[in-house]
Amino acid sequence: MLDLFLSAFITLFVVIDPPGCAPIYAGLVKGASHRQALTMAVRACVIATLILVVFALFGENLLGALHIELNSFRIAGGIMLFVIALDMVFEKRTQRREERADKIRATPEIEDVSVFPMAMPMIAGPGSIATIMLLTQRAQGTEQTLVVLGALAAVMLLTLVALAAAGPLMKLLGTRVEAVITRLLGVLLAALAAQYVIDGVKAVMAGV
């Protein structure tokens, strides 16, 4: 169970990327009071968690309704995560997040950024939704599913901490350290994504 928890935790941590969300959030809430920033951080994490839990528990039924096989989803999800990993290695993901944040900042009437863009798509985006569905579908039984959800809760708690301490955290890490961490996490995610694809292809070949 510990291995499952660590695997799920690392995968979700890399995909959701709390250290990467922190500087974006710090820029979005610039000018807001500490209490306002904290309230929006809590709201964003709660909404994102609810979205991910819904997909974790009911994603398989959704796939069934769309007549999509689990192995097909594994392969597609693995490819999607691999693309995200490449973006992290070459810093394209951070660049897109910053561009999205600039658009939000350029619209003065939008003050609450907790739902958009923080909860969706920055935290509960396509990559994290695909990841939580893959993890819960690989889990065997209720106990393992609860372990995966526990890993999700731990990552979301760290995300909340990162958002709440976004300003001081950025001063502590600096842009260079953040870039190094992002690239290392990207390489790790690429390996995990490749494993998802390999598992899916093996299952398809075994069923032929």
Q: What does the pLDDT read at residue 110?
A: 45
How far is 174 from 107, CA to CA, in rounded Å?
27
The one-digit pLDDT tens for each residue of the chain (208 residues) are: 889 999 999 999 988 988 878 877 877 777 677 888 899 999 999 999 999 999 999 987 887 788 877 778 778 878 877 887 787 788 766 666 666 666 666 655 445 888 887 898 789 987 788 889 989 988 888 999 999 999 999 999 999 999 998 767 666 766 677 677 667 777 877 887 888 788 888 888 887 5
How far is 94 from 124, CA to CA, in rounded Å?
16
| pTM summary value | 0.73
